[in-house]
């Protein structure tokens, strides 16, 4: 199984600040990576697919990059509505696996 290591597990940043989350796979997953946002009590919502493709309707302050084993997810200017937990997930093969999540809070 492919293991996804996500860091940090939590972070606190000010409104307007740039936030970056990293995700590392233990084998090459090319660009088969999704990023999800999960707000409290809600289902995960897909933000980015194919490592760097922004889903239609998702604000442009969200972005993703990387390929192979190392990936990153960035919020260019943190907004109050971005308070959530973010997960990476590979879809290179089965079983699909998720990172442990990053809880983002406002400082």
Partner 1 sequence: EVQVFESGGGLVQPGGSLKLSCAASGFAFSSYVMNWVRQTPGKGLEWVSAISAGGDIPYYADSVKGRFTISRDNAKTTLYLQMNSLRADDTAIYYCATSNLWGQGTLVAVSS
Q: Which residues of the chain form contacts with partner 1 (CB under 8 A)?
A: 34, 42-46, 49, 55, 87, 89, 91, 94-98, 100-101
Q: Which of 83, 96 has the CB closer to partner 1? A: 96
Q: Which of 44, 66 has the CB closer to partner 1? A: 44
56: CB partners within 8 A, 6+ apart: none
CB of 45 to partner 1, least distance (A): 7
CB of 14 to partner 1, least distance (A): 27
Q: How many CA atoms lie within 13 A of 44 on its CB side?
A: 16
Identify the CA nearest to 75 among candidates 99, 44, 106, 50. 106
CB of 49 to partner 1, least distance (A): 7
């Amino acid at each position: 199984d492919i293991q996804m290591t996500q860091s940090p597990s939590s972070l606190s940043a000010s409104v307007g600040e740039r936030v970056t989350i990293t995700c590392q796979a233990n084998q090459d997953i090319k660009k088969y990576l999704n990023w999800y946002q999960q707000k409290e009590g809600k289902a995960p919502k897909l933000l980015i697919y194919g490592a760097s493709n922004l889903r239609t309707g998702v604000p442009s302050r969200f972005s993703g990059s990387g390929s192979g084993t190392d990936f990153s997810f960035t919020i260019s200017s943190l907004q109050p509505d971005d308070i959530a937990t973010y997960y990476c997930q590979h879809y290179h093969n089965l079983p699909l696996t998720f990172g442990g999540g990053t809880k983002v809070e406002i400082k």
